[in-house]
Amino acid sequence: MHLHAHASDGLAQVDFYGAQHLPNNYRVSVDIDGLTPGACAGVVTRNSDKQKGGYGFQICEDGSWLITRYEAAKDRSGEQVSNLKTSTDTDKIPRANAYHLVTVTDGVSLRFTINDQSEKTASDGVNGLMDSISLFVAPPGNGDGSANFENFTFSEI
């Protein structure tokens, strides 16, 4: 699957839904290639169209990575984003033509592995049972971004 996003439009994403709700604890893996310069791509777990919320796991074209929490803004007018864990210059993933992402959402434990390298972890209990998972591309601030997604898997743990 190919996703393309314009800076003026924000994220491009595709959602995958369960029959009712997804299980609380699950593993998602996906291969990403063709990331355009400056773009980022990844997975959002515990996502929902009915209410604001979810956890984002993203890799950027330069090897930087991020684990974020999305939740309703305090005034309920939009969404607020909090960075739970972000890469530093010393723990970026080596830049690659392709990235294999594995995310595990297990209770309050959020685990993220990129290209089978060291696992990145965060803990957060704000977002619980939700009804979808998303794959997304975030464009650079001044242009277009795109990526190819392959070998998407989902499994309950």
Distance between CA atoms of residues 95 and 73, nearest Å: 34
Whole-angstrom Cα distance, residue 66 to residue 40?
10
Q: Which pLDDT score, from 0 to 100, does residue 112 have?
A: 97
Positive or negative, the CA dihedral 136, 24, 87, 151 is negative
How many whole angstroms from its chain centre is CA 126? 16
Task: Report the pLDDT value the prediction gives residue 21, as an integer from 0 to 100.
Answer: 74
Each residue's pLDDT tens digit, 26-60: 999 999 999 999 999 999 999 877 778 899 999 99
Length reported for the chain: 157
pLDDT at 20 (0 to 100): 66
Domain 2-156 = CATH 2.60.120.560: yes
Residue 103: is its pLDDT beyond 80?
yes
pTM above 0.95, yes or no: no
What per-residue confidence (pLDDT) applies to 124?
94
Which of 46-50, 59-63, 89-93 is modeled with the greatest confidence?
A: 59-63
Q: Give residue 19's identity as a one-letter amino acid code.
A: A
Predicted confidence at residue 79, as pLDDT, reads: 81
Domain limits, the chain: 2-156
